[in-house]
Amino acid sequence: MTAVDPRPAITPSPGASGDGRPSRSPAAVAKAYLALTKPRIIELLLCTTIPTMVLAADGLPGLLVTVATLVGGFLAAGSANALNCYIDRDIDAVMHRTEGRPLATGAVSPREALLFGLALGAASVVLFATVVNWLSAALSVLAIAFYVLVYTLVLKRRTAQNIVWGGAAGCMPVLIGWAAVTGSLSWAPVVLFAVVFLWTPPHYWPLAMRFRDDYATAGVPMLPVVATEAVVAGQVVVYSWAMVAASLLLWPVASMGWVYGALALVLGAAFLREAHALQARARAGVRGAALKPMRLFHGSISYLSLLFLAVAIDPLLR
């Protein structure tokens, strides 16, 4: 027996596309596809790439390799984000924070998003392999695969530690940037990888605290959904201390000068102060907006940007 859909049939209007969606101007289409790549996230990822390349070159890297690495990095991250939107379209549709994304609004169809994400990934690999080197190409493939397959498909909906291990994909730009300049890897980019890896939980968990109800509604077991505010804040403090320790480890490992060392100390102290303040409010029983988790979230963005600015400035001064 064939089920009957009780909803009335929809006849496309003269101004609608064949699939029933409203016709879109070229500008609107371009904006929707750009939104699939999550450009605000890519900006933060690329801000770690250029300083790493400067450190690897011990000065300014070549213009061609720099431009190719940035474009390739944008394509790789955009591919991973678009494929993430394709897989998580059911979640995005029920979360207030993401309900405006192109797949949730219908501005882009699932098939279009899938093909777009795959095309960006292929373009990234080709660019890295032909203009930069094969190591950077392999690392870009690993970054896309890890974010899409390991984080989005396996971890995100199954464990409260999803963002911890899934955040490894966001650390890959430092390895790609170093490999693009040197054709190899060493301990310095590994330490920078550790900094970004340890930074991810105290950066993302405050955001998840702010949008806890969204994640709970979507059935995503982010740590703030399954644990109390005090437990989450305690984990934030632990990762913050480990992150600051890793940032200071770069000082001897990469033979950084006093500029980096001084800024790493000052920035680390400011970050730890805010992390402990969040923990104190949580332990005091503060809840909701009064907990002010977004202060740490926004502060973490400033911290990473300024720390990597110090990474870039230090070798130029030396």
pLDDT tens for residues 145-196? 999 999 999 999 999 999 998 889 889 999 999 999 999 999 999 999 999 9
What pLDDT shows up at residue 7?
A: 33
Whether residue 77 contacts residue 141, with contact meaning beta carbons closer than 8 Å, is answered with no
Residues of the chain above pLDDT 90, percent: 79
What pLDDT shows up at residue 288?
A: 79
pTM for the full model?
0.88
Q: Which amino acid is at 3?
A: A
Whether residue 212 contacts residue 218, with contact meaning beta carbons closer than 8 Å, is answered with no
Whether residue 136 contacts residue 189, with contact meaning beta carbons closer than 8 Å, is answered with no
Domain 186-318 part of CATH 2.40.50: no
CATH of 28-179, one of 1.10.357.140, 3.40.50.12780, 3.30.70.100, 3.30.450.20: 1.10.357.140
Q: Which amino acid is at 172?
A: M
User: Cβ neighbours of residue 233 under 8 Å, at least 6 residues apart?
Assistant: 275, 278, 279, 281, 282, 283
Task: Give φ, ψ of 22 to 5 degrees.
Answer: -60, 145
What pLDDT shows up at residue 262?
A: 96
What pLDDT shows up at residue 21?
A: 53
DSSP for residue 11:
P
Please provide the DSSP assignment of 125-177 as one string.
HHHIIIII-HHHHHHHHHHHHIIIIIIIIIITTT-TTHHHHHTHHHHHHHHHH
- C-alpha distances in angstroms, 311 versus 139, 157, 204? 22, 35, 23
Whether residue 2 is predicted with pLDDT greater than 50 in this model: the reply is no
Token output for 232: 């989450």
pLDDT tens for residues 28-59? 889 999 999 998 888 877 889 999 999 999 99
Q: Is 195 exposed, middle or buried (0-12, 13-18, 19+ CB in 10 A)?
A: buried
- What is the pLDDT of the chain when averaged over all its residues? 90
- Boundaries of every domain in the chain: 28-179, 186-318
* Same fold yes or no, 28-179 and 186-318: no
